[in-house]
């Protein structure tokens, strides 16, 4: 790792390929103001390293084991400039929607890398965090692409919840409570943002405060004149509004 200096920019590299990290290490070694404070080979390591070292810049691969680059971005604080480094060009728009400083497509030249570092230095000089609203970072994706898993930060731990195993989500101010496999997980995200990332063919906003996995609904019972209760396979009773009931009937093909 580079020799520390009080004026250095502190960098974390996260890539599951040793060769890719070696190339980054070589390019960074030519920059006297860069100090590599951590190298990571998977998403969990990256989240831990970034939150512990608070680097100025994170060089982040997209496709990594355990957590991908966008899930890492969701779980780290907004103080670091982020440069995505990947072999896949289809994530570029999503990366910039997530307020990345740059997007390096492998293989890249030393000149292209220096251009990215110039943008990083500009960002750091501005002392401006990655200030895109969190909900936009969470939902930035291509049309027709929906969440397959949700990441939840619980203190120093990170839990991954498969959307296929999600029973329902309940709004709790700026958080959502996720019910899955008999457990509840609290995630900092609005329910509207979560809804926009879920497949509407599988998940239904039955009430302003609830999203339900349609496959978990065993029946819907009348409650009051204009409300119903969705009874889920685990026995949960979820309120259903008039609009939610109409949407449910459309999905299941009711008359």
Q: What is the pLDDT of residues 46-58, one digit of tens each?
A: 999 999 999 999 9
As a CATH number, domain 146-252 is: 2.40.50.1020
Domain ranges of the chain: 9-137, 146-252
The Cβ-side half-sphere exposure at 195, using a 13 Å CA radius, reads: 14
Q: In what order do the strands lie in the sheet with 227-232?
A: 217-224, 227-232, 237-240
| Cα→Cα distances 141→77, 164, 242, Å | 20, 19, 31
Interatomic CA distance for residues 34 and 70, integer angstroms: 24
As a CATH number, domain 9-137 is: 3.40.50.2300
Q: What is the pLDDT of residues 130-152, one digit of tens each?
A: 554 555 445 555 556 788 999 99
The SS3 assignment for 26 reads: helix
Share of residues in the chain with pLDDT > 70 (%): 89
CA dihedral 11, 14, 20, 25 (to 10 degrees): 20
Q: Which residues contact 131 (CB under 8 A, 6 or more apart)?
A: 78, 99
Interatomic CA distance for residues 21 and 46, integer angstroms: 13
Q: What is the pLDDT of residues 205-232, one digit of tens each?
A: 999 999 999 999 999 999 998 899 999 9
């Amino acid at each position: 790792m580079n020799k520390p200096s009080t004026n250095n920019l502190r960098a974390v590299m996260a890539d599951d390929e040793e060769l890719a990290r070696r190339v980054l290490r070589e390019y960074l070694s030519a920059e006297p103001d860069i100090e590599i404070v951590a190298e990571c080979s998977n998403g969990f390591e990256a989240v831990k390293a970034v939150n512990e070292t608070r680097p100025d810049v994170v060089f982040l691969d997209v496709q990594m084991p355990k957590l991908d680059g966008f899930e890492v971005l969701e779980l780290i604080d907004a103080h670091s400039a982020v440069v995505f480094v990947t072999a896949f060009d289809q994530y570029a728009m999503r990366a910039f929607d997530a307020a990345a400083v740059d997007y390096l497509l492998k293989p890249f030249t030393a000149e292209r890398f220096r251009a990215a570092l110039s943008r990083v230095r500009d960002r750091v000089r501005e002392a401006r965090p990655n200030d895109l609203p969190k909900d936009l970072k969470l939902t930035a994706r291509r049309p027709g692409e929906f969440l397959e898993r949700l990441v939840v930060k619980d203190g120093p731990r990170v839990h991954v919840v498969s959307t296929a195993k999600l029973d329902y989500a309940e709004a709790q101010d700026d958080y959502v409570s996720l019910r899955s496999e008999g457990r509840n997980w609290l995630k900092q995200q609005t329910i509207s943002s979560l809804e926009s990332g879920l497949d509407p063919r599988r998940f239904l906003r039955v009430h302003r405060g609830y999203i339900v996995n349609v496959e978990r609904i065993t029946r819907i019972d009348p409650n009051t004149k204009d409300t119903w209760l969705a009874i889920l396979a685990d026995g949960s009773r979820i309120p259903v509004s008039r609009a939610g009931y109409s949407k449910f009937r459309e999905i299941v093909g009711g008359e």
